[in-house]
Amino acid sequence: MRLTLGSLKMLEKMETVDVDELIEEFETITKDAERIQRETLRKILEENASAEYLQNLGLNGRNDPESFKSCVPLVTHEDLEPYIQRIIDGDISPILTGKPITTISRRHVIYISGTTQGKPKFLPFNDELMETTLQIFRTSYAFRNREFPIGKGKALQFIYGSKQSKTKGGLNAGTATTNVYRSSTFKAEMKAMQSQCCSPDEVIFGPDFHQSLYCHLLCGLIFREEIQLVFSTFAHSLVHAFRTFELVWEELCDDIREGVLSSRITVPSIRAAMSKILKPNPELADLIHKKCSGLSNWYGLIPELFPNAKYLSGIMTGSMEHYLKKLRHYAGDLPLMSADYGSSEGWIGANVNPILPPELATFAVLPNIGYFEFIPQRVGNLESQVLFIEPKPVGLTEVKVGEEYEIIVTNVAGLYRYRLGDVVKVMGFHNSTPELKFICRRNLLLTINIDKNTEKDLQLSVDEAAKLLAEEKQEVVDFTSHVDLSTDPGHYVMFWEVSGEVNDEVLKECCNCLDRSFVDAGYVSARKVSAIGPLELRVVLKGTFQQILDHYLGLGAALSQFKTPRCVGPTNKTVLQILCNNIGKSYFSTAYG
Ligand code: AMP
């Protein structure tokens, strides 16, 4: 990452991170959100006025929101692909941005059902986007630190760089998180916040994530007294890390006792870096062994291992809510702090109320990091009801509390009126900027005929049925779904991996409960008249979801950004095959007779 004047200034400032000052800055910009939005749009349009994309839209130097909205269409990633492809291929003319793009974020689309699954998507990444990322991190850090001040120390961060490659045109391409972790500005920021990752770069950027994970755990144990917080980008990686710990803890203790790294670590650069850290320490090995042996079913594992950790942090909302139960189990009394809201397209909001439980977390939009519009999801006006046209987007400060919207982003890296595909709900306002709750991806997940069920509906249904498992002291390790149209009528299929043995009667009841818990009127009526067949619950063998994860990592996805696909479409043949090859038992619902 090249250091711009802006980031250099920031570095100077970061030497002395002043939490009160950061909060004050946030308060100032959010008090004047409408004006700041206009200014941000003006700046974006001025800086990119020479971009071919904008030139073709006839803005002719106008940069007010009204002209912008009348000239620039709403777009999806698909619309921008030809432009992005030219950038990737090395065309350095101003295409989407004034200055040429030098870095590309690569994302594997793994959570959307449909035809693009598994195919990487590319998005522009630049210094300006990096700066907005840092601004979000700094803001939420300030609010977190006000509640739980972190002294000098280290962070156990389960972060993984994806493979960085060069595009045909010579641009660096990595996942957005990798682009961030590799940046010197980011590293300086982390240093200023006094929570450097306890693992060396060779571990973070290692070529094999299994080996990186093992070494993250090992570094965490070696520096256990110094660990102030435990972090991963998404909560899934935290749970995955400690599930792995359950399997490898004795080997980790052996390594610490002897001061010799397990032979499972074969990457020379990782071995070399770890040899500088790992020294024989039988006392530490005995202590960890004793602590682990003394735990009941690993409850409270994290504070036992890291006695000075203040909290766990990572994105815990949306599709990550499923992992909260397990995370709380490992975390014991440690607070969970849900991190911010953003995407490879750019950040949107910071969690400025970090002490709220993740289920209640909201994100205050930073009005100076992009220009935001919102498409109301409730068809409110007659015109749109009659003509079936999408209601008009409203501005950041025009949204209404209690309403749901799809977010439209205009960012500093060449996206103009870009449909992000996320649905959010406005929960309130922080000064004049809205506080958003993430609801779901907009794409419908499950639909056969008149039924419409989203990721959120699926999550609620699984949560409800999982209560029956909890009574048996078992849990849903992970889950996904599929619409099976090979039967007539078609039906929903749920795939569950369950933590232990559960008897057939309980699983049958879970299956009925899943079916009953889809309360969408379309689904219920179609089920009643058998226009949709009985829901099927397929319980898959242990390790099935690990195979799915490995499949995506093999395609070049990064563990840091991994989200289990909650619906597997018919075109996603490999994942469907993994699931179908691992079916242990299956049940059909009798909920509708
Ligand atoms: P990616 O760019 O692949 O890392 O994924 C970005 C997507 O992850 C967003 O569009 C959201 O759907 C989801 N996401 C990001 N942050 C959050 C959050 N705080 N809560 C829930 N979902 C999130």
Q: pLDDT for 459-492, tens place per residue?
A: 999 999 999 999 999 999 999 999 999 998 999 9
> What DSSP assignment string belongs to 261-314?
--TT---HHHHHHHHTT----HHHHHHHHHHHHHSSTTTTHHHHH-TT--EEEE
| 3-class DSSP state of 231 | strand
How many whole angstroms from its chain centre is CA 584? 30
Residue 381: CA count within 13 A, CB half-sphere: 10
Residue 553 token pair: 């990592």
Residue 187 has pLDDT above 70, yes or no: yes
Distance between Cα 228 and ligand 1 center (Å): 25
Q: Using CA atoms, how far apart are residues 436 and 429, in angstroms rounded to an integer?
A: 9
Q: Which of 461, 451, 447 is nearest to 512 (CA)?
A: 461
Q: Is 41 left (phi over 0), alpha (psi -120 to 50) or beta?
A: alpha
Higher-pLDDT residue of 46 and 488 is 46
Q: Whose CA is nearest to atom 22 of ligand 1?
A: 318
Atom of ligand 1 nearest to the CA of 351: 19
What is the pLDDT, as a whole number, of residue 10?
A: 46
pTM of the model: 0.85
315 Cβ closer than 6 Å to some ligand 1 atom: yes
Atom of ligand 1 nearest to the CA of 109: 3
Predicted confidence band of residue 165 (pLDDT cuts 50, 70, 90): confident
Distance between Cα 277 and ligand 1 center (Å): 34
Q: Whose CA is nearest to atom 21 of ligand 1?
A: 318
> What DSSP assignment string belongs to 63-82?
-SHHHHHHHSPPB-HHHHHH
Distance between Cα 342 and ligand 1 center (Å): 6
373 Cβ closer than 6 Å to some ligand 1 atom: no
441 Cβ closer than 6 Å to some ligand 1 atom: yes
What is the pLDDT, as a whole number, of residue 449?
A: 85
What is the pLDDT, as a whole number, of residue 569?
A: 84
Q: Which of 172, 155, 164 is nearest to 207 (CA)?
A: 164
Distance between Cα 162 and ligand 1 center (Å): 17
What is the pLDDT, as a whole number, of residue 7?
A: 43
What is the pLDDT, as a whole number, of residue 119?
A: 64
Distance between Cα 123 and ligand 1 center (Å): 15
Residue bearing tokens 């619409």: 483
What is the pLDDT, as a whole number, of residue 576?
A: 94
Strand 418-430 with 404-410, pairing: antiparallel
Residue 381 has pLDDT above 90, yes or no: no
Q: Using CA atoms, how far apart are residues 106 and 121, in angstroms rounded to an integer?
A: 6
Q: What is the mean pLDDT of residues 437-459?
A: 86
Distance between Cα 281 and ligand 1 center (Å): 41
Residue 4 has pLDDT above 70, yes or no: no
Residue 382 has pLDDT above 60, yes or no: no
Q: pLDDT for 535-549, tens place per residue?
A: 999 999 999 999 999
Residue 244 has pLDDT above 50, yes or no: yes
> What DSSP assignment string belongs to 528-589?
HTTSSPPPEEEEEPTTHHHHHHHHHHHTT--GGG----SS--TT-HHHHHHHHHTEEEEEE-
